[in-house]
Each structure stands twice: as structure tokens, then as C-alpha cells.
Structure 1
Amino acid sequence: MSRFSPLTRKGLLTSGMVALSLTGAAQAQDIPDYLRYEPTQTDVGGTGLLQMPSARMARQGEFSVFYYDNDEYRRVGLSLQLFPWLETIIRYNDVRTRLYNPNPDFSGDQTYKDRGVDVKFRLWEETQYRPEVSVGLRDFAGTGQFSGEYLVASKRWHDFDFTLGIGWGYLGRSGNIDNPFCKLTDSYCERPGGFRGEGGSFEYDEWFKGNAALYGGVEWQTPWEPLSVKVEYDGNDYSDESSRTPIIQDSNWNLGLHYRLHEYANVQVSFERGNTVMFGFNLRTNFNDITQYKQRPRKRLAEDLDNTRRPVYIDQLDADRLAGEVYRETGWVSAELTIDDDGKTLNSYGYQTRYRDRDESDERTGRLLATKLPESIEAYRLIDAPYGIKLRQTTIDADKIKAAMRAETIDADAREAIQRGDIDTIATQGRQLSRRDTDWNMPSFSVRPYIQQSFGSPENFYMYELRADAYSTWEIKENLFVDGRAALRLAGNYDEFNFLVTDEDAPLPRVRTFVRSYVEFSDIWLENLQATYLKQLNKNWYASVYGGYFERMFGGVGSEILYRPYNQGWGIAADINWAKQRDFDSHFGYRDYDVITGHVSGYWQPEFLPDTMVRVAAGRFLAKDWGVQVNFEHKFDSGVIVGAYAAKTNVSAEDYGEGSFTKGFYLSLPFDLFQIRDSKGRATVGWTPLTRDGGQMLMRQRTLFGVTDGRDAFYSN
């Protein structure tokens, strides 16, 4: 019998709830001021005050699209908190007072666009007594017209966030203090002017040189939660501007209001230079936090174990029917089912087609097999074997997953029954129960929209091509595939591309700047048609040979070899290709130009940068130039991948043309972030500043690194 009456128990419960609430409130009050507030964006992108950056960093994964406007400039760009200690920004400055080119036949009435890339590194975090300190580079890979460097500290006191920094270049033109580095060496007393090549280079010999200025300010979080007030002392005097028009500064003090319209939207209005109104907004999300509700069939439960009739012996199993049921319910394609010689382990050679979350897929497959297989089967082994290449295996303990389904212990977890590892052997194990016939496969077909785009071209700021692409894949025999794609142009403006250099005068073979010729010739074309034979030499070595129309501009033949150990975070590949330029009609003919191109490529996932892939490819490019392409990718918790690449070759910046070298950025977005059903597909959105001929790589289907992703599961998980 209880020692407490119902009334007493109710009082104790209420008292407990009140105590928990008070404890939570006390804990909230114990949170330091400097950890409570989300930093806001500046007028030029990135965390800070108005024109000036602060030392603050947003939460990792924070992504903002921003637009800010005043009389001389429009600024639009993207800001991403790539790591907790690294902020990155891509920005376009639209100079409203200048034309892109004085020749109206070349760029029409388009105003001048200046590209900029910023980075900010946190040196140390804020503590109770120490400020947060960061160092940054603004517009460090552009034309240098807005470039500057800074060292800045920020410290919060209650609702006030104070910032004090020193700026150089564009951020320090007022020169209100002496450059401290000038005292160390005279080379820092003057800042070199102009920029090397055709813009886009790293002007490192200018960094932290010339005039310097102190700047600072404070941001006050008002009692009204959506609103904050910013007061800033500007380090720039606007004496030498890209607008080529006088910009009057009546005051170094700027005042602004930042208002949070919504969780995902902010607006900012400011009065700057004592005479100018600035307005802007930003839209934000966080790539780590993005989720999407999923409509999934229920998982098999204990009642399915007890109520489903199972065969007593494995020979009584209808293996073909089981394979079909597994595919329909879990998305796992069982190309081959075998049983070990001891009769205790079922092996399924196949691949996952539906779930990007491999834990979800394997648990569902294990639960289903537990309800269908004889009790004598002690383990279910799923061998990833896409394209007939065996990459890894997942072993599911039958007893453990059944115990979890029946909830035999309070902490039973079906996923604890799952173990992954390297494949034991590349040979088929045990006795075969069923096998999918690949000799009479029919091609698969699908139609999908596709958009190709680039930003910042002289002819038009936004160049694009919207298409409807028909895809086809045909597995003729095991390991032999034919991939094709035909395209229908729906809309676009690439026909405005106006590369005013004749073939004879071009410093490089024209391998990419014939865009307009390809676009204008036909609205229907064959994008690619490639045959590929894949071969697994042993469990770490892979090879392929291929030929056909690789892409819209090139066809030919080639071969690749790859060494990729299991779950080691690295691999190395080499490819060699003979490529010939296709006719402008993109149907079946070729032009006179051909090239031997190929690269040695290294792939690395550094332990000190989690969820990051670095790829380095060294070799010969399509324009017969030699050099290196570096590709950097980071994957967030949602599966969104952010990538950047750059290629530097033996082509001079002058011969390359505007931009100095090939570079670009892209987002890879999982389809299942936009739909309620699971999917393994991805969509890629790219940003290419300019299309030029140097540093261009051949595009082809079924690269070995993509085919063998299951060895590390960077893209497919």
C-alpha cells in the first residue's frame, strides 16, 4: 500500500515539476552572455556590424543568401559557415555607375560586376575574460578593388556586443593609425597597386600592407527580441572607389537597425557615411539542421516474427520471391542469393536503391529477413556489389535483431545487430539459391529537367540553359554498361556568349569557348553515349575501359585504374584518354582537334577535417596544358555537400584571360530533402565565374571513384 494519499502524491508531483522548471530557468540564467546570441550579417556578407566585420562566427552549417543596395553598389552573394572556425563568402558587387565594357556590341548595357571571395578564421574563442579574436581576408581572389584584411576582437557584455579591429586595404583607407607591421619592415609601409594577370589571383604580396585604420562598434540586442541596433565607426574613407564617381563621407559613424522577420529571414536598414541610406536582407538556413518528414512503411515487429509462416529448411525457401519482397519493402536489390556451406549464413549480393540512410536500410532488411528465413540461419550478410563490383559487407546477427524486435531487454536496439566491414573475398561464397539474369536486360529510361548555368559573364550576368534530358542505362552483360543521354533545349541564353577571339588568334585551343556554336546549331542533341566495362582486380584494385561520346564537346576512348583500400579515407587513380572534339551539331561527327589527356588523382578524407574530401588531379588538360586541379568538398549532417575547385596550369594568366585560372563552386543537394519519400539521388547547383579554355578536364561517365563510393560511403550515405 502506498504511504502517500492521492492528494499528497499530486502535491509532490506538482512540486517536482515546479522544481524542474526553476532548475531549467536557473540553468538558462547560468549560460554566459557570449553564448546566447546569434551573430548578424553585415552589408557585404558575413557576420559583423554594417560595413565592418566582427570576430563572431555563426553556427557551423549556417548558410545565407544576401542582397544589399545603395546609390553606388548592389551586393549579392552567399555566406557559409563551413567549419566552426571558418567563414566563407562569395559576393558580386554590381557597380551601378559603370558599364561592364565600353564596347556596347560586347556587353550591351550591363553594369560592371566585380567578383569577390572572403574568408575569416577564428584564432580563439571568447571566454569570461577573453574576447573572441579572428583574422580575415576580404576580396582576396578578385580584382583587388575591394580587397582588405583585418584583425578583430569581439566581447559581449550583457545585451551589448563590442567590436574593435584594425583593417588594411579597403578596410583601412582612412589611415587613422600607423601600420604596426611597418615598424617591423619597410616593405609593409606601402601597398602595391593594381592586380596581377586578369584578376582572380591571390594578391598575397599586398596583404596587411599600406594604410591601416582602427574600426569598431557595438551591437545592442534590444528588449524587443527581433530588433538589434548597430553603431559602427568605419575604417574606410571612400577616397578611391570602383564606382569611379566621388563618394562623399560626411561622417565615419554608421547607424543601423537589424530586424528578424522570421526564423529564416532578416532585414537591415542603415544610415551610413552621414548621408546614405542602405537597405538589404538575407535569407538563411542551416545545412546541419535541414530535415524532411519521411513517409515510410512500418518496420517489421515481433508480431510478424510470430505470425509469419517460415520454411523449416533453406531448400524450402522461394529465393526469387524473397528477393522481390526485399526489394519492394527495403529498396535492396538482391542480384544473387547464396547460403554458406555450413548452412548458417545467407549472403545477398546487391545494392541499395532507395535509402540514403544506410542504417535505416540495413535495419529494415534485417527485420524482414528475420520474418522470412528458417531459424537455422544465424546471420544475414549483405554484400554491396553495384555494377558487379564487391565493395563491402554488412553482417546482421539474426538472434540480436529478433531480440530487439521482441524488446526482450529494455535497451534492445536492432541496429546493434548490424556490423559493417571489408569483404572477406571477391569470389561468390557457398551454394547459389538465386541469381538475376543479366544477359537479357532491357535498357532503363527516365526523363529529368536539367539546368546548366554560370554567373558573371560579360554578355549577361546570368547565363543558363534549361533542358529536358532523356537518360538511358543498359547493362548489356555483367560489368558492361552503356549510358546515354539526349537533350532538348527548353530555354536559355548561352547563344549570347560572345568570345571575340578567332581560332587563329586564340592563345589556347578552343575546347570550352565554343559554347555559342554548340548552342546555336541545334535544340536537340546527343549529350553522351558511352560504353564502360568495369573490372574488379582484387578487393582493393579496380579498372575500367570505356569509349564513345563522353560529353557534348568530346568523344573518344580511355582507361582508368584505381587503388582504394576499405574505410581508409584515401585512394589513388590514374586515367588516360584519347579525346576528339565533336561537331557543333552534337550528333555523330567530329572536328579536326584531338588530344591525349589524363591525370593521376589522389583522394583524401583528413581526420582533422571530419566529413571532408580533398581531391588532387595532376596531368594534362583538354587544351594540352599541364597542371593541377584541386577539389575540396565538405558534407553536412543533412547530406548537403559544398564544393569548390580550382585548376592552375602552365598557361599564363594573360593567355588564360579574365579570371586568370579556372575555378568554381557548387552545392550537391540530396533529393530526399525536398520530398517525403526516400531517395538516393542528388542535384548539383554550380557557380562558374567564367568559361575559358585553360585547366579544363574531360567529363565522362562512371568514374571509378564514384563507382566505388561504398568503400567509404562519402556521397551515398
Structure 2
Amino acid sequence: MPIPRGGLRAALKTTVARRLSACLCVLAISAQPAVPQEDPWARPVLGFMGVPGILDMPTAHPMQDADFSLSLGVFEKTRRGTLHFQITPRLSGVFRYVNIEGYGTQDQYYDRSFDVRYLIAEEGRHTPAITVGLQDFGGTGVYASEYVVASKTFGRLRATGGIGWGRLGSYNGFTNPLGILSDRFETRPDGEDGIGQTGKLDARHWFRGDAGFFGGLQYAVNDRLLLSAEYSSDAYESEERRIDFDRKSSFNFGATYRIQDNIDLSAAWLYGSTFAVGLTYTFNPKTPNDYPGGLDQAPRAVQVRAPGSAADLGWTQQAGATQILRGDMQSFLAADGMVLESFAVDARTASTSVRTGTQVYPAQAVGRTARIMTQLMPASVERFEITLVTPGGMPVSTVTVNRSDLEELEHAPDGSWQSFARARIEDSGPGAATGVPEGAFPRYDWSFGPYLSAAYFDPENPLRLAFGLQLAGSFEPVQGLVLEGSVQQSLAENISGLPGSNSILPHVRSDANLYAGAADFTVANLTATKYFRPGEDLFGRVTAGYFEPMFGGLSGEILWKPSDSRLGLGLEVNYAKQREYEQGLGFLDYDVVTGHASAYYDAPGDFHYQVDVGRYLAEDWGATIGIDREFDNGIRIGAFATFTDVSFDDFGEGSFDKGVRFHIPLSALTGSRTDLSITRTIRPIQRDGGARLEMNTRLYEQVRAYQQPELQNEWGRFWR
């Protein structure tokens, strides 16, 4: 029996702070036990703004490289939820979501903002760490400010002093010292107290107007307990005016207790009038769990040949030898979660094509396949050619290893590096596979389980959800042709309660409420895709059908991606037609030709860059820039922004499309083999400008995982 929508809508109308608090508690309970670090300053504490800070004021030291922190601070009608990511050892980014009761014209006011911080100088023996920061530089301006801050450590004592502008220069301010450079720094343009339009990067405000000093002291009583005292330069003018906040003092006092290395609990007395509490959870994608070797089953050992056995070619005269070896390979690979695509063998070389299946890491799949081949192949076979094939049936790369190298290096101290240096990784080319096992096609797969979708940051309800049951399946009649689809039965949702769209652009995304409320049983997607290799270093696909809940049509894509190159170039062209709100098989009147030219670059140091230039669903032209940091365990955290010929005013709230995204394979959290993952894109708000089709058949992510740069990054797993 479906749950009534009205009941769920009422149940879900809680504050964003309570949701974030619940998430933090779950994370804290599920976190792996950690011994607190002996150095109390190894990882700075986060203040009530969710950045490294004393209490309400920032400090200069950064978090550890790649730290991803979630924090919640609560005081005086204010709840601040913050995501902080240490993008590089010096650069960090922040997304903050705030709920203030009675601020503005609403009983519950929600505000979103972004910060960026950069470490100018590390702390030295005689010099402090120095950081410059922009606070709330892309939001409504509730917390808009800029600062330069310095911190110096003296054993268990850390001192901080800084100068701030905007909010951080609003109490006991003085004439801007940057005025010696230009008179324009002395005046800061009037703001809107955070009630204006979000998303505009107005650099005219930065480092302008009066400045103010702030600072404080932190004392580490031991490796768990930290005491803090600060002088704040934030006058809290808008809060005093709008929510009757009583700012009696500029001095704040508090304490932080480190429950575990990654969990902090803070309490403070702020501005002489209010008590504050905060909770912080920090997660580092480099070391997400205590399972460095994983919980997977042990790989097969390399079987070393007897001396002189390589000269024996008698097996080549045995009838049906190839068929027997092919059957054995198929069984052994299946036992390790992989699928044999094709197999061929002669006196000296064995060639096998493999789909990695449940093996999460392709390099690990190559290593396990090679060891299986040492156990099964006749002693005369010296060269193993292992071709990696995408789930759609496209051969990508061929890894060639010598059997004698495997026998020599299995237990060598530097076996991983030497095995990579001796291996050869090449493009597999467009040739058709030979030696496909009998009965390999047709293939099918299916799954059944719950689904969850979300809409974020509606001013009336910051988190709207839809959940239900989903049946998904795929059918592959021949290699490279994949039919797949899914149907969903909604059990409950409150996305249909979103306000109706006021967009002056074609409603390609802003009618989410109409799609959510039109029907309980829907066809989420239904497509036929043909994958092919048009030439060396080239990959192609053609997809037809219902791509996603809102659009269907015809899509074609070509990707150029050499096996040993970090650069890839792609071209996609689509004819898209808008689906009916009920998400059956019908369409609305709106259609559009859309497409993009894309450049991808897999940079050293875990970073990946992508630029897409072309026409979007609302017939606007522009470009999307995406930057992601990717870790060897598959965790990916990034951000994107889209700028098109739609003006900020025509786009509406948010000014332009932007957001943060993350992808977390569950194997990285559990240490067990699984191909399940958590993937989410969090936008401040979804509008019609800069909207692209949602496609799960795009080529680049399928191809790159099987090519040399990615295989090299994870080659340490070759022997696991």
C-alpha cells in the first residue's frame, strides 16, 4: 500500500540542521575506531563557520590534504551546516547551508554560500602560517567577508591574529589600509543583508570598506581537549536587527573535545549572550577505512613451470585443446567474479578478453587473470595478452605480460613496479573478438531494490525526497548491443510540492514537481545502445530510446582517447524530445537538437579536468567546466559550473548552474568487493539554463578506467 504523499510531506518538513545532525551521528557511530594523534595540532579544529577556526573566527592552518569534513553548529536561532574539502595541501573549498529562524520575511530562512581559502605561507620555525580567505563570495551575502589571518604555534599554545573586511570588519572597524593602493578600497558597496539574488560573483565588494582586527588563543590541554578564547570583529548587525540577537561582548570562550581522531565536539559561550554547540566529522578519502588489503578472497598463486617444460609442444597436437582451455578459463574467471569474452591460444601466446565484472579495480583484474593463466596454460605459452572489455562489450586496452616475469616477480619487494615496467599496454584496436565461448550470448542481468532521488535547497523545504522500488534489467543479444531499462514504483515523495516554475526559458528541468506528481508507476529509462570501435584510439556509440525521466530521443557519440594519453576528445550530438509528465511512452511537443564537444584531461596528482562546449536543452549555448579530485580507491569529489548565453537575471535564482558532486564506491568503505556506489550531485538550485541530458551510456568514464594512466595509478593492486 503506497504511503500517502501528504503524510510524508509533513514528516519530511524538518530543518536541514536536524537532518545533518542525524547524518553526523550515523557517521560517528559507524566510524572505525581511531587512536587520537599525539600531536594535538596534527589536524586543526573547525570553528562554528565550518572552517579551521578558533570559535567564530578563522585560523590560518589548513586541514590535512584531502580531508572532507561535515560540521554542524547551533546557537541563537541559527544552525550552520558546512562541507569543507581540503582540495590541495594549500587550497580548500567550503559549501555552507544555514537556517535562521525569523530572519527576513520568512519564519525559517535558508541561506547557502561558498568559501575558498588559500594558504599563502606554511608555518616555519620563526614565522606563522598565513591564509587568505573569501567567505560567502557566491551566495546572498549574509556572511560575506574577506580576511587575511596568521597563526603561530608555541608548543601547546597557538596564537592567531587577522584582519577582516565585510562582516569581519564590521565591529570596531578602521579605515581600510588597502586605501594606500587606491581610494576605491575605502568604500564597500551596500549589500542586501543576504536577501538578494544568489550566485553572482561580485568582486567589487572584495577587500573593500572598513577593516577590523580579530584574534585569539588556543591551548591544548592534552591530545583530546582544546581550550579557546577569541576576540571577534563581527558585529552581527543584521542578526541584531532581524532576530533580536543580543551582542553584549566581543569575547568568545569555548572548548573542543576530540572524541576520536575524526570526530570533534565543541561548546562555547558566544558574544556574552548565547551558548553554542558544534559537531564535526572528518573523512579522508586517502585512508577511508582500516582495510588496506581489503577483505576480498585471496588471489590464486603463480604456478611456476618446471625447468625445461616450456619446450614441450605435445599439447598442440591434442584434439580440442583450445576448447578445453577456453572452458577452464571461463570457469576460473567466473569463480573470481569476471566474465570471459573471448579466448585464443597457440604454442607461445594466449589471448583472452575479459569483462572485469565484480572486480572493482581493472589492474587487479589483470593480475588475477594473469595468475589464472599461469595455472591453466601449457608450459610452452610464454606471452599472455589480456584485453579489457567494457560492460557494453567494447574492447579497450590489451595488457601483455610475460609468464617468466610473473614467475620471477610474484614475491619480489618491488614486484608491482617491475611488473608494470615490463608490461605493455596498448589500444586493443577495432578488430572483432575471436574465440567467443559457445553460449556466451545472449546475456542478461537484472536487479530489484529501493531507489532514492532528491531535490535540494527549495526555500520552503531544503530537502525533498522521492523513494520507492525499482526493477532494472539489461539484455545483450550480441556483443556490443545492449538493451536496458528500468521501471519505478513510487512509494512516497514530496518533490511534487516544489513551487511551480516561473522560468522564462523552456521548462526543461524546472517542472520537476509535475514529473514527480503525475504518476506512481513510471518508466525511468528504456534504451538500446550499440557500442563500436570505428578505428584505432576511437570509440563510438549510438543510443535510442528514453534516456531519463524527462527526455528521450536519439544520441550519437565519438570519443578519441589513445591508450597511453591523459587527453581525450569527444563529440556528442542528440535529438531530444521532452517526455510526458506521467513518464510512460508518450512525449510532449518540445524537442531540441543538443550536443557538446568535450575535452578531458587526467592530470597527475589525482586531478581530472573536463570542459564541455555546445548547445544545452533550453537551446542556450555555452560551456561547462568541471574539476574533480579522484583517489586510487575510486572515491571522487569535485565541482562544476556552467556559463551560457542566458543572462543571470533570465536564469533566475542562483544566476548560473553550479554544484558539487561526489562518487563513493562502497568497496572503499567496507573493504569488500562490490560494484555498488553512492553518487550524488548537489546543486544549490536546479533551473533550466545550462541543462544537459542525463545519459548512463557516455563513453569516457567507461573507457578511461581500462587505459594506461588509470591502470598505472592502481597497479599496486596487480598482485592482490
Q: Read off the aligned partner of 1:363 and give its amino acid letter.
A: G
Change (3 A) 1:180 1:617: same
- Work out whether 1:523 is the aligned partner of 2:524: no
Maintained 8 Å contact 2:329/2:372: no
Cα deviation for residue 120 of structure 1 reads: 0.5
Select 2:365's aligned residue among 361, 364, 367: 361
Cα deviation for residue 492 of structure 1 reads: 2.1
Question: Residue 198 of structure 1 aligns with which residue?
Answer: 197
Change (3 A) 1:693 1:434: closer
Maintained 8 Å contact 2:506/2:618: yes
Question: Residue 300 of structure 2 aligns with which residue?
Answer: 300
Q: 2: distance between equivalents of 1:654 and 1:595? A: 23
Change (3 A) 1:404 1:620: closer
Question: Residue 463 of structure 1 aligns with which residue?
Answer: 464
Question: Residue 4 of structure 1 aligns with which residue?
Answer: none
Cα deviation for residue 165 of structure 1 reads: 1.0
2:237 aligned counterpart, secondary structure: coil
Computing the radius of gyration over CA atoms, which structure comes out larger, 1 or 2? 1
The CA RMSD over aligned residues, in Å, is 2.8
Q: 2: distance between equivalents of 1:424 and 1:533? A: 18
Maintained 8 Å contact 1:292/1:675: no
Cα deviation for residue 436 of structure 1 reads: 5.3
Change (3 A) 1:168 1:444: same
- Work out whether 1:444 is the aligned partner of 2:427: no
Maintained 8 Å contact 2:40/2:224: no
Question: Residue 206 of structure 2 aligns with which residue?
Answer: 207
Change (3 A) 1:412 1:708: closer
Change (3 A) 1:384 1:656: same
Maintained 8 Å contact 2:60/2:131: yes
Q: 1: distance between equivalents of 2:531 and 2:369? A: 28
Deviates more, 1:277-286 or 1:160-169: 277-286
Question: Residue 703 of structure 2 aligns with which residue?
Answer: 708
Q: 2: distance between equivalents of 1:618 and 1:242? A: 46
Change (3 A) 1:436 1:632: farther
Q: 2: distance between equivalents of 1:682 and 1:253? A: 46
Select 1:87's aligned residue among 56, 72, 92: 92
Q: 2: distance between equivalents of 1:358 and 1:424? A: 15
Q: 1: distance between equivalents of 2:645 and 2:303? A: 68
Maintained 8 Å contact 1:453/1:686: no
Question: Residue 478 of structure 1 aligns with which residue?
Answer: 479
Change (3 A) 1:359 1:559: closer
Q: 2: distance between equivalents of 1:76 and 1:311? A: 69
Q: 2: distance between equivalents of 1:175 and 1:207? A: 19
1:171 aligned counterpart, secondary structure: helix
Show the 5 A alignment for 1:36-75.
37-75=42-80
Question: Residue 9 of structure 2 aligns with which residue?
Answer: none
Q: Read off the aligned partner of 1:270 and give its amino acid letter.
A: A
Maintained 8 Å contact 1:85/1:122: yes
1:369 aligned counterpart, secondary structure: helix
Maintained 8 Å contact 1:319/1:433: no
- Work out whether 1:185 is the aligned partner of 2:182: yes
Cα deviation for residue 355 of structure 1 reads: 2.2
- Work out whether 1:76 is the aligned partner of 2:81: yes
1:362 aligned counterpart, secondary structure: helix
2:451 aligned counterpart, secondary structure: strand
Q: 2: distance between equivalents of 1:331 and 1:713? A: 24
Maintained 8 Å contact 2:618/2:691: yes
Q: 2: distance between equivalents of 1:685 and 1:575? A: 23
Question: Residue 217 of structure 1 aligns with which residue?
Answer: 216
1:708 aligned counterpart, secondary structure: helix
Maintained 8 Å contact 1:292/1:674: no
Cα deviation, 1:243-301, whole Å, max 9, x if unaligned, reads 72343332211111111122332111111212221111112221111136433333333
Deviates more, 1:263-272 or 1:673-682: 673-682
Question: Residue 8 of structure 1 aligns with which residue?
Answer: none
Question: Residue 315 of structure 2 aligns with which residue?
Answer: 313
Question: Residue 329 of structure 2 aligns with which residue?
Answer: 323
- Work out whether 1:377 is the aligned partner of 2:381: yes
Q: 1: distance between equivalents of 2:513 and 2:708? A: 40
> TM-score of the superposition, structure 1-length normalised?
0.87
Question: Residue 21 of structure 1 aligns with which residue?
Answer: none
- Work out whether 1:583 is the aligned partner of 2:588: no
- Work out whether 1:338 is the aligned partner of 2:338: no
Q: 2: distance between equivalents of 1:424 and 1:495? A: 48
Q: Read off the aligned partner of 1:213 and give its amino acid letter.
A: G
Which gives a bigger RCO, structure 1 or 2 (Cα 8 Å, sep 6+)? 2
Q: 2: distance between equivalents of 1:434 and 1:565? A: 26
Cα deviation, 1:521-572, whole Å, max 9, x if unaligned, reads 1111001111111221112122222211111011111211111122321111
Q: Read off the aligned partner of 1:124 and give its amino acid letter.
A: A
Maintained 8 Å contact 1:292/1:672: no
Show the 5 A alignment for 1:513-662.
513-607=510-604, 610-662=605-657
Select 2:140's aligned residue among 140, 143, 164: 143
1:288 aligned counterpart, secondary structure: coil
1:447 aligned counterpart, secondary structure: strand
Q: Read off the aligned partner of 1:154 and give its amino acid letter.
A: S
List, as ranges, runs of 4+ consecutive aligned residues in structure 1 with deviation greater than 4 Å.
Answer: 33-36, 302-306, 712-717
Maintained 8 Å contact 2:240/2:246: no
Change (3 A) 1:361 1:558: closer
Select 1:695's aligned residue among 687, 690, 697: 690
Change (3 A) 1:301 1:482: closer
Cα deviation, 1:54-74, whole Å, max 9, x if unaligned, reads 111111121221111111311
Unaligned runs of 5+ in 2: 1-36, 715-720
Identity rate, percent: 27
Change (3 A) 1:524 1:378: same
Cα deviation, 1:73-95, whole Å, max 9, x if unaligned, reads 11112112121111221111111
Show the 5 A alignment for 1:385-404.
385-386=389-390, 387-404=392-409
Q: Read off the aligned partner of 1:258 and give its amino acid letter.
A: T
Maintained 8 Å contact 1:611/1:634: yes
2:84 aligned counterpart, secondary structure: strand
Maintained 8 Å contact 1:383/1:393: yes
Q: Read off the aligned partner of 1:683 and give its amino acid letter.
A: I
Question: Residue 233 of structure 2 aligns with which residue?
Answer: 235
1:56 aligned counterpart, secondary structure: coil
Cα deviation for residue 469 of structure 1 reads: 2.0
Cα deviation for residue 497 of structure 1 reads: 0.8
Cα deviation for residue 618 of structure 1 reads: 1.3
Maintained 8 Å contact 1:338/1:347: yes
Maintained 8 Å contact 1:305/1:371: no
Change (3 A) 1:364 1:346: same
Maintained 8 Å contact 2:40/2:220: no
Change (3 A) 1:228 1:701: closer
Change (3 A) 1:404 1:75: same
Maintained 8 Å contact 1:535/1:543: yes
Select 1:96's aligned residue among 92, 101, 124: 101
Maintained 8 Å contact 2:349/2:385: yes
1:402 aligned counterpart, secondary structure: helix
Change (3 A) 1:549 1:286: same
Maintained 8 Å contact 2:396/2:428: no
Maintained 8 Å contact 1:77/1:89: yes
2:574 aligned counterpart, secondary structure: strand
Q: 2: distance between equivalents of 1:612 and 1:276? A: 43
1:117 aligned counterpart, secondary structure: strand
Cα deviation for residue 361 of structure 1 reads: 2.5
Cα deviation for residue 117 of structure 1 reads: 0.9
Cα deviation for residue 150 of structure 1 reads: 0.8
Q: Read off the aligned partner of 1:313 and give its amino acid letter.
A: W
